[in-house]
A = this chain, B = another copy of it.
């Protein structure tokens, strides 16, 4: 087995066209996993990702701050302790509110196709 403390896992900058800003970092929690991606994403105030979809399900576990998770039908504010299930193929975005930073763990299956960005 392998144990890490979330607070000690290094934060890698995550500068990608998927995000509306550059203040985003990623912490890879289980780099040795063969079955899962389990990463923290830390969003700066007001930064979110753009509409996208995944080939498999995505689970979000909110760990800090205040964020928004949105589909084409709804926008929901989420805070620490909220857990979100996003079905495979559902068009959605998530990120920080204007007044708060925001962090969540995400879980996806290892080996699914890269995220499909659906907004420029």
Whether the Cβ atoms of B3 and A84 lie closer than 8 Å is: yes
A29 and B83 in contact (CB under 8 A), knowing A34-B57, A76-B3? yes
A contact face: mostly helix, strand, loop, or mixed: strand
Task: For A2, list chain B residues within 8 Å (CB).
Answer: 84-85
Kindly state whether residue A81 has any CB partner on chain B within 8 Å: yes
- 6 closest Cβ pairs, A-B complex: A30-B85, A6-B81, A35-B57, A2-B85, A29-B83, A1-B86
Whether the Cβ atoms of B3 and A82 lie closer than 8 Å is: yes
Whether the Cβ atoms of A33 and B85 lie closer than 8 Å is: yes
Q: Return A76 CB to nearest CB of chain B, in Å.
A: 6
Q: How far is the CA of A108 from the CA of B35 in the complex (A)?
A: 9
A interface size (C-beta, 8 A): 36
Query: Which residue from chain B places its CB closest to the CB of A63 in the assembled complex?
Result: B81
Q: How far is the CA of A84 from the CA of B32 in the complex (A)?
A: 11
Cβ-defined partner of A107 (8 Å) among B5, B56, B107:
B107
Whether the Cβ atoms of A1 and B92 lie closer than 8 Å is: yes
A57 and B36 in contact (CB under 8 A), knowing A81-B5, A84-B3? yes
